[in-house]
Each structure stands twice: as structure tokens, then as C-alpha cells.
Structure 1
Amino acid sequence: MKIQCVIVDDEQPARDELRYLLSRYDDVQVTGEADSAGKAVSLIKKITPDLVFLDIQMPGKNGFDVIAELAGHTPMPLFVFATAYDNYAVKAFEESAVDYIMKPFSEKRLDITLGRIRNLLIEEPKESGDLQTTLQELLNKMGTPRETVKVSVEKNGRIQLLAPQEIVFCSCESNGICIHTHDEVFTMYGIATMDKLAEHLAGAPFFRTHRAVLVNLDCIREFSPWFNGKYNLIMNDSKSTELTVSRTRVKAFKQRLGI
């Protein structure tokens, strides 16, 4: 029996690399690929694969959104997550009936993963309901640390801790990252790059409108199409700050908002 699998990743090189590695296994067949959460859900429902290699961090909806949207679908495939999450998250994966692989992909780790998948599919097949419960437990575990995320900022020589919901948007400036709340601006403390800040806030409703700006989607007052395919945002801070969504990120922005 061949294991029918789907690869979900927004980056073509990552999909190509994993497809190549999987081609070494006679009992594995890649039957489809998707580059977004929405396409992944549609594809999985259509072809009902045995296994899905699922990237966690994608523009717009992420890998966990895929699991949530498949709730109640039968048969539910097994999932292998591509992750760069911390040790807490890895522990949650290890305790569940799914598996994970770290990027960049390791052939040795892939061997171990596929061995486990074979056992689950052939020697220890799980009922769809059991897998649904396991995946929900995983989502709950992944949600726990996100609730306590804080952002460290500096003002007048003192360090303050902000909750994500207090932040309207973040911007890269010449003096570092600035954190904008409703009526104040702080200097980021302890995180030097926007990539790291975006990763730190991965569980909160933030979106990169372009490389230098990260916005809180809950703090957008209104938005409208702008010139050259861009979007213009008006935030709900005291200054009604206007920000731009770059043309290349408009599609992901609309997907994130479900429009």
C-alpha cells in the first residue's frame, strides 16, 4: 500500500525539496501540493490523502487554521508539521499522534517520521474521532503559551511590558523597532528584528503589511484599495495613522481577513 500524501507550504523551494526527499521512498506518493491554508483545506477534502506535510507559518491563515477548518471532516489524514517553534511546542508535538520535522529538512529525521506514520496507518490505525480529539488537544497545548506573550519596551530608561492587544502597530525606524499603542510610542527592548518580533507575536492577530510594518488586525479602523494594487489602512490610534499594505501582500491580507 502506498501512502498518499499532500505537501502544504507557501514556499516553492521547500515543497520541491520535500517532494525530492519523499521520492526516495517506494511506499510514498505525493498526490498534491498547496501554497496556502485555503487551498490546502480544499485539496485535502477533495483527494482525502493519508498524510499531510503541513507548514505552520504561512501568510494569512497558518497551519493550525487548516486543522481547525477540517474539524469534523472524515477521513482525517495524519499530519506532519514543518516547524521552527520552541521546545515547549515540540514537546506538545511529541506527545500527540502527529509528528513534526524541523526546517531545513533532515533525511534522518524524515526516516523516523515515516516509520511512525507507517505504524499509525498500518499497524495501529486510528479512528477519525480519536485523531480529531488528539489534534484538538494539540491546538489547545499550542495556545497555552500564546496567552502569556508580552512585549518588552523601553521609555525614559524604564522597561515596561505590553500585552499584544495594547499594540496598534510596530514599525522599523532608524533607531530600531518602534511599538505604537493608542496614544504612545515606545522603543522595542530585547528583540532586534521585525522577523523575530513577528515570530514572537505569532499567536496574536498581527500581519506584516510590508517588511517594515507589523499591524494588529484588531486595530484597523478601515481600509480601502489604493494605487498600484496596494491597500491603504487607517488605524484606530489617536492619530488615525495611515499605513500601506504592499501589493505583494494584499492577497494574503485579504485571506487573513476572510474576504
Structure 2
Amino acid sequence: MMRTIRTLVVDDERYAREELTYLLSKFPDVQVVGEAESGEAAILKTVQLMPDVVFLDVEMPKMNGVEVAKVLVELKKVPLIIFATAYPQFAAEAFRINAIDYLLKPYDEEQLKQTIHRIEKIVYPSLPPDTAEKLGKLAVEADGEIDYILPQDILYMYRDEKVTKIITRTDNYEIRTTLKELESRLVPFSFFRIHKGYLVNLIYVSRLTPWFNGAYRLELEGLDEKLSVSRNYVKNLRERLEL
């Protein structure tokens, strides 16, 4: 099963983001999990999505790519950084902050291919076969048929008596796999336990609201229902979500 390199594309120009996203789509093991149009948004999305790689435009207003990179290298989970720019004079400074590559615009597909190979060697230096199999889609069997769910499409999941219910952006599923087992399978993705019986996808978290006795209510994008966050998990949740 194909391995997945979670990637964030950052550029203040929409067409530049679309071009790079299109070029990256040609690599089966690269998954663009988000885009950002400013330095501030790039930092927030890196914290929230925890990508393996950030393709970072250098020339952006207010906060340029080099300034963004200096923040990213201080995070708990530091992504690989690839600078992309039309200005080669930034190369020296880029490598001083541990960027692994430097792409010049307009993009050269052969150079991008070499960059992806370099990323693969760093992200998966010696990945065992059984681990690689866990980086694909989640199999859900019902009525003799098997549906395959992309982890990034899951909003949250919870345990209800003897079944685990999975809520995605478009459908709901029930499986007998325990929440604990699913949690271990989804380690490479942005899932977090907010309660003994609930796992949420941090990609979709939009708001935390104080509730009572130190607990919080959590809101997810595209979901009217509010989920309860046990006070035992609040501190770690905020550490995962915030700078």
C-alpha cells in the first residue's frame, strides 16, 4: 500500500498554489492536506495539520517565508521545509535554517521529482512493511461490502456499546474495531482523544468553549453538534492545537 507524505503548500498567490498542488498530485505518495496564503496562516495550519513537509514561498507580504520557517523550526513537530521562490538570492539564508531544498519558479518538474525523492528518504528511511500498510485508507466492512475511508475525511469517531461509530464529512459508519485499536492505526494522522470514548480529527477543530468543572465543548467545521472535552484531556489538546 502506498505511503503518504502529508504536505502543506504556502504561497500568497492562488495560481502559484494551484500550480504546485497540481504538480504534487502527480506523485502518488504525496498528499496535499492544506494550503495557506500568508505566513500567519501557514504557522496556524502547520500546528493544526502537522504536515510532514511544507512548501514555503519566500516572498509574501507582512511575514515572509524565511520568518515563517524560523517559527516552524521551534515547533514540537518540525516539518521538512522546502522554499519556493523566483529569487535565488534567498538560497543562502534558506539553508541556514535547515531547509532541505530550494525550488525556483517557474517550477521544473525534474527538479521537483528530485526534491520528492529526497523527502521520501528522510520521511521513510526504513519503514517496515506492516507500518506502511497502516498509512493508507481505513477499511470499513458492512453487509458483505468493504468501503475504504480516507482518514482526512473523518470528523470524529466514538464508542457506542459494542461498536465504534465513524462520522465523516459525508457518511456515518459502524465497525466492531475498538477505539483503542483505531487510535493506534491512526497515529500518523491528526487524531486526538478528547474523552475516554471519543477521537476527533484536529484538522476540523474550529472552537473550544469552557463548559463546567474544567471541561470544554468542542466545535468541528461542518458539524452542528458540540462534543465534550474531558478536563483530563484539555491541556494536551490545547498544546496540540496552539503555538
Which structure has more relative contact order (CA 8 Å, sep 6+)? It is: 2
Greater Rg, structure 1 or structure 2?
Answer: 1
TM-score of the pair, normalised by structure 2: 0.47
TM-score of the pair, normalised by structure 1: 0.45
